Chain A
Amino acid sequence: MRSRSRRLGFIAGIVTAILAATAAGLNPAFGDEAPQRILSLNLCTDQLVMMLARPERIAAVSHLARDPKLSVLAGTASQLPIINGQAEEVFLLNPDLVVSGSYHVSATVDILKRLGLKVEEFPAANSFSDIRTNVRRMGRLLGESEKAEALIAKLDARLQRVAARRRQRAALAALFYANSYTSGKDTLASEVVELAGFDNLASRLGLTGTGELPLEILVMEQPELVVTGLSYRAPALAQEVFSHPALSYLEKTSGKTAVAENLWLCGTPLTVEAVEALAVARDQLPSRTAFAKADNTEHPRVVAPSMPRDNRP
């Protein structure tokens, strides 16, 4: 009996939601106007929505948006309703626009589309040009194009300031995350590093996308700067590599800096802060002569089997 009444309650809820949705669709105030109940399913779209739309227009963001390790706007997100991304949850919130990442669980998105919701998917940003595209598109969808252009203009101005101060010589930097992971060509992190005045070691070794940078290779290549992420406080073996004695040896000769992952995990106009932080780290590096080590001449060639070294000029 109880289960039946619960089921009835659930059906009633769905019916109400459908009625509400229909009413919203019929309401002339909504029509082609800017959406007023925006719902985001993906950490990256969450942040774009929060940057562009006023909080009262946001129906919900994903639960990850509240994690300050992952999201730059965790504070804003803590004031907003959150969802875990299941179709029924989304539907009951009666959004008039759903935005999600294009690699979001497609079953959810398919159901929502079949239920007649307007769903817009955003690909992950792998470059600053992707960030501009995504921000512009989000601005159009939310009816906030002016705000979007302003954010882009500010982003470009800040990037230009960094570019103007960039040194002639690109220093060698290695991205080194937990589990010895790194980012190579066609990644946002790689572009960030390059815009800050560095050569990215993983790209130089021919790695595309995200992959492993063996500790051995890192030590042999002796980059001028090792860029790590911020560790979680709770212990895990993945982070043990940061305290490996071989890495501490490297710290004697290389600079080390940590960049908060939330700045580049998702490409947003705030990703420029990572560029600025690394540009400062670049300025603080000693010039190359100071780095010329006694063993540099007999430094054996290093070739990673998985990462063929490409021909550099």
Chain B
Amino acid sequence: MTGGRSDWLLLGTLAVTLCVFFILSLVTGPAAISFFESLDALFTGRAGAASIVMQEIRLPRAILGVLIGATLGLSGAALQGYLRNPLAEPGLLGISASASLGAVLAIYTGLSALFSLALPLMALVGAVGAVLLVRALAGRGATTITLILAGVAVTSFAGAMTSLALNLSPNPFAALEIVFWMLGSLKDRSMTHVWLALPFILVGWVMLFQVGRALDALTLGEASAASLGYRLDRVQALVVFGTAASVGAATSVSGAIGFVGLVVPHILRPLVGAQPSRLLLASALGGAVVLLAADVAVRIIAPERDLKLGVLTALIGAPFFFWLIYKQQREVT
């Protein structure tokens, strides 16, 4: 509607930043391949081992960074718009943790080894379950507090079940992987993971991008939105399944990564005139930038330690969360 030119400026800036971080992600890694060598190895495949490193190790990592970051940013923006709640986010609502649980069940029971699509599907089931459970627990027209409480309950339950499943595995390594599922990492992911997650993520994106106008109408209240001709049950289905499909698939290959979906829409909201439909694309781009930056940072800060992504996003996200709570309290009193 309004602000067309400033929108293009913002989206353009985000897209350029995204490209910069994508390239940074490609050239960061333990094997010291120079900048031009690495790009040459990526595109030509002439350089033998270097090409394998670029094409099979770094490229999938960078692609997953974009896909997953965008998913988290987009779903955060959609959830905040749909629930009209500034604290809605896949991580806080327990969607990521439940998707992790689904993925854990698929992998460690051996199901995903028999049928690889079981991994994103089970994660999707977990994510849908979480959204429905939170909705049911918090009720219609939930306040921020009840929604967050429901999210906390679902998150801790799913986290406990994930730990239980991993502790019961006869494989001694499984118990150590609790950290991966709770904090997330993109280390040594491969193109297989990209192909597995991509279809679900794209379907989720398509669903979420459709609700933009409806979210704008919802800012006026449910009754007004309905009177404007938006079918709210359809909007709800799109948000729920769009989030579940994209966040579920993302979590099933990277573990649960928190705070991206919370922080990114908040930072960008003032820049798009607080209009949900304009926030969606900006948040997707912003989420991708943040996750790529975090993933570059974990490789630079402690290359030999396999620092988890969730640690970094929480370092930035948690203080932001404190500030949000503080601001909300001041608004109430």
Mark A residues whose CB is within 8 Å of B. 178-180, 211-212, 214-217, 219-220, 222, 232-241, 244-246, 249-250, 293-296, 298-307
Q: B52 touching A236 by the CB < 8 A rule?
A: no
Chain A nearest Cβ from B136, distance in angstroms: 32
Q: Would you call A299 and B49 a contact (CB within 8 A)?
A: yes
Interface centre among B48, B176, B304 (most CB of A within 10 A): B48
Which B-chain residue is minimally distant from A244 (CB atoms)? B190
**B173 lies within 8 A of A178 (CB):** yes
Contacting pair A232 B107 (CB below 8 A): no
Q: Which residues of A contact B37 (CB under 8 A)?
A: 300
Q: In whole angstroms, how far apart are the Cα atoms of A307 and B177 in the complex?
A: 25
Residues of A within 8 A of B174 (CB): 234, 236, 238
Q: Would B108 and A216 count as touching, CB distance under 8 A? A: no
Give bound CA distance, A232 to B303, whole Å. 27
Note all chain A residues with C-beta closer than 8 A to B49: 219-220, 222, 295, 299
Complexed CA–CA distance, A246 and B50 (Å): 11
Interface pair B52/A249, CB less than 8 Å apart: yes
A235 touches B52 (CB 8 A): no
Q: Is the CB of B53 within 8 A of A216?
A: yes
Contact call B48/A293, Cβ cutoff below 8 A: yes
Q: Is the CB of B31 within 8 A of A245?
A: no
A241, A295, A303, A307: the one contacting B188 at CB < 8 Å is A241
**Which residues of A have CB within 8 Å of B190?**
244-246
Q: How many of chain B's residues have a CB under 8 angstroms from any CB in A?
A: 38
B110 near A245 (CB under 8 angstroms)?
Answer: no
Which residues of B approach A to under 8 Å, CB–CB? 29-34, 37, 46-50, 52-53, 56-58, 107-108, 110, 112-113, 169-174, 176-177, 180, 188, 190-192, 303-304, 306
Q: Which of A236, A294, A300, A305 makes the CB contact (< 8 A) with B50?
A: A300
Please pick, from A249, A300, A305, the residue contacting B303 in the complex, using a CB distance under 8 A.
A305
| Complex-state Cα separation, A237 to B179, whole angstroms | 12
Pairwise interchain contact B30-A306, C-beta atoms closer than 8 A: yes
Q: Which residues of B contact A304 (CB under 8 A)?
A: 30-32
Given A222-B49, A238-B177, also A215-B171 (CB < 8 A): no
Question: Which residues from chain A contact B192 at a C-beta distance below 8 Å?
Answer: 245
On whether A211 and B52 interact (CB within 8 A), knowing A300-B33, A304-B30, the answer reads no
With beta carbons under 8 angstroms apart, the residue of B48, B57, B173, B306 that contacts A239 is: B173
- Taking a contact as CB atoms under 8 Å apart, the answer to whether A234 and B32 are in contact is no
B170–A180 contact, CB under 8 A?
no
Contacts of A250 in B (CB 8 A): 52
| Residues on the A chain within 8 Å of B304, using CB | 211-212, 305-307
In the assembled complex, which residues on chain A have CB atoms less than 8 Å from the CB atom of B112?
235
Min Cβ gap B305→A in Å is 8
Specify which chain B residues have a CB less than 8 angstroms from the CB of A235 in the assembled complex. Answer: 107-108, 110, 112-113, 171
Docked Cα-Cα span, A240 to B306, in Å, equals 16
CB-CB under 8 A from A238, the residues of chain B are 171, 173-174, 176-177
Which listed residue, A219, A241, A299, A302, touches B52 by the CB 8 Å rule? A219
Are A232 and B52 neighbours in the complex by a CB distance under 8 Å? no
Told that A215-B188, A298-B47, A304-B31 touch, could you supply 4 new A-B pairs with CB distance under 8 A? A235-B108, A245-B191, A302-B33, A306-B303
Given A220-B31, A302-B31, do A234 and B108 touch, yes or no (CB 8 Å)?
yes
- In the bound complex, residues from chain B placing their C-beta under 8 Å from that of A219 are 31, 49, 52-53, 57
Q: Which A residues lie within 8 Å of B56 (CB)?
A: 244-246, 249
Q: Which 8 A-B pairs have the closest CB atoms?
A: A295-B48, A306-B304, A238-B173, A234-B171, A216-B31, A236-B173, A214-B30, A246-B56
